[in-house]
């Protein structure tokens, strides 16, 4: 049974970092397990089936996660995103989401998924209180999806997209990591899709991150180039962002488009100065920046000194450690990455 907790933050205990950024967004990686083996997430050895996984005892329990979220919400967190790995493969996730949505002061619970299980769980997610979903899909060609993910899964993912649209999820965001010589010839196809369907199609610059050895400068394609290509299809009309729209710059491709386009530019136009997020990895460590390896071991706190004050102090320590910027520019021309955490564990 999950116990309720009525934690109240002491006066003045706000989540503001050393650079006056207010932290209001917590990303929870529920598991490092995934039903795909995407080329930019795992190494070549792991893609062949050698992916090491955390033991069950190494994951935070749902009760531990709920306790952390309650403390964090009392301190100023208003938005939580569930990531993985693939969050829908963790047993009991729907019950956890229901409990999460009962936390007073938590305004926004979202999920990022590869979409493979979305057709199966879409209605239950909606009933549990999730109406906003990000779906990772890097190609509209089944054989290419299989090459990128290691699994023949396009049909399952697309059924998931159709399911959440039919159920009325909004927004539904489709994330494409744009990679030169791999899928950049589909940029215009993705852009056209936003004219037909009420999706936000988001183009994300390929980042040198994690243990994967697949990144190199020749694969990188900038947002400016992506936008220039899409501009050949019609006018890109800039839209005002909502409070919880995140780092994407949002446009509509023509006045009559059913959906929108989003552009996320961590390399060419970084958004570090307005970053409002904190990550809790599936291994139970707090990470204040996706691209920095410094972490606070919250799992040890929860299992050795499990008080609300100790949780609060761990959160504040992580936020004090938040760097001014990610310095990704220095990595742009390197082959590989010096950010060593694996994406399936950190949470995308």
Q: Is 40 annotated as a binding residue?
A: yes
Strand order in the sheet with 108-113: 236-238, 249-253, 260-264, 200-205, 172-178, 132-136, 108-113, 79-83, 25-29, 277-280, 285-287, 295-297
Q: Is 249 annotated as a binding residue?
A: no
Quote the CA–CA distance of 325 and 126 in Å, as a whole number: 36
Q: Is 272 annotated as a binding residue?
A: yes
Q: Which two tokens stand for residue 134?
A: 């990000």
Quote the CA–CA distance of 346 and 348 in Å, as a whole number: 7
Q: Which two tokens stand for residue 25?
A: 């967004």
Quote the CA–CA distance of 181 and 107 in Å, as a whole number: 41
DSSP 309-342: HHHHHHHHHHHHT--S---GGGGTTSSS-S--S-
Q: Is 112 annotated as a binding residue?
A: yes
Q: Is 334 annotated as a binding residue?
A: no
Nearest Cα neighbor of 134 from 262, 24, 288 is 262
Q: Is 81 annotated as a binding residue?
A: yes
Q: Is 277 annotated as a binding residue?
A: yes
Q: Which two tokens stand for residue 45?
A: 């050895």
Is the CB of residue 41 less than 8 Å from the CB of residue 343?
yes
Question: 82-114 burial by CB neighbour count: b if 16+ within 10 A, else e?
Answer: bbbbbbbbbeebeebbebbeebeebebbbbbbb
Q: Is 173 annotated as a binding residue?
A: yes
Q: Is 299 annotated as a binding residue?
A: no
Nearest Cα neighbor of 299 from 314, 285, 280 is 285
Q: Is 153 annotated as a binding residue?
A: no
Q: Is 223 annotated as a binding residue?
A: no
Nearest Cα neighbor of 319 from 291, 289, 348 is 289
Sort strands 132-136 and 172-178 into parallel, antiparallel or unpaired: parallel
Q: Is 16 helix (H, G, I), strand (E, B) or coil?
A: strand
Residue whose structure tokens are 């990188």 = 220
* HEC assignment per residue over 110-138: EEEECCCCHHHHHHHHHHHCCCEEEEECC
Quote the CA–CA distance of 259 and 159 in Å, as a whole number: 18
The binding site consists of 27, 34, 38, 40-41, 81, 85, 112, 136, 173, 207, 272, 275, 277-279, 289
The binding site for [4Fe-4S] cluster consists of 34, 38, 41, 272, 275, 289
The binding site for S-adenosyl-L-methionine consists of 40, 85, 136, 207
The binding site for GTP consists of 27, 81, 112, 173, 277-279
């Amino acid at each position: 049974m999950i116990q309720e907790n009525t934690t109240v933050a002491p006066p003045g205990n706000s989540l503001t970092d050393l650079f006056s950024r207010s932290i209001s967004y917590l990303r929870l990686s529920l598991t490092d397990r995934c039903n795909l083996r995407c080329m930019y997430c795992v190494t070549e050895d792991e893609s062949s089936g050698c992916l090491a996984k955390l033991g069950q005892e190494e994951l935070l329990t749902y009760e531990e996660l709920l306790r952390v979220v309650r403390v964090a919400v009392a301190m100023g967190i208003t938005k939580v995103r569930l990531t993985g790995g693939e969050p829908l493969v963790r047993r009991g996730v729907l019950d956890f989401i229901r409990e999460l949505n009962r936390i007073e002061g938590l305004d926004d619970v979202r999920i990022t998924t590869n979409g493979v299980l979305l057709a199966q769980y879409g209605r239950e997610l909606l009933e549990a209180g999730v109406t906003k979903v990000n779906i990772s899909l890097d190609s509209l060609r089944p054989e290419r999806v299989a090459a990128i993910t290691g699994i023949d899964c396009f049909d399952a993912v697309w059924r998931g997209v159709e399911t959440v649209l039919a159920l009325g999820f909004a927004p539904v965001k489709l994330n494409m990591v744009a990679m030169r010589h791999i899928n950049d010839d589909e940029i215009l196809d993705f852009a056209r899709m936003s004219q037909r369907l009420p999706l936000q199609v988001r183009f994300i610059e390929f980042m040198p991150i994690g243990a994967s050895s697949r990144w190199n400068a020749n694969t990188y394609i900038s947002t400016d180039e992506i936008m220039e290509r899409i501009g050949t299809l019609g006018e890109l009309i800039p839209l005002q962002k909502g409070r919880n729209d995140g780092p994407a710059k949002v446009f509509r491709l023509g006045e009559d488009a059913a959906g929108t386009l989003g552009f996320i530019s961590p390399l060419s136009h970084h958004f570090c100065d307005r970053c409002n997020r904190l990550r809790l990895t599936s291994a139970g460590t707090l990470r204040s920046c996706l691209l920095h390896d410094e972490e606070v071991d919250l799992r040890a706190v929860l299992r050795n000194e499990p008080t609300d004050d100790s949780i609060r102090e761990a959160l504040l320590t992580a936020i004090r450690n938040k760097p001014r910027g990610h310095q990704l520019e220095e990595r742009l021309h390197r082959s590989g990455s010096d950010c060593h955490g694996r994406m399936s564990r950190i949470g995308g």
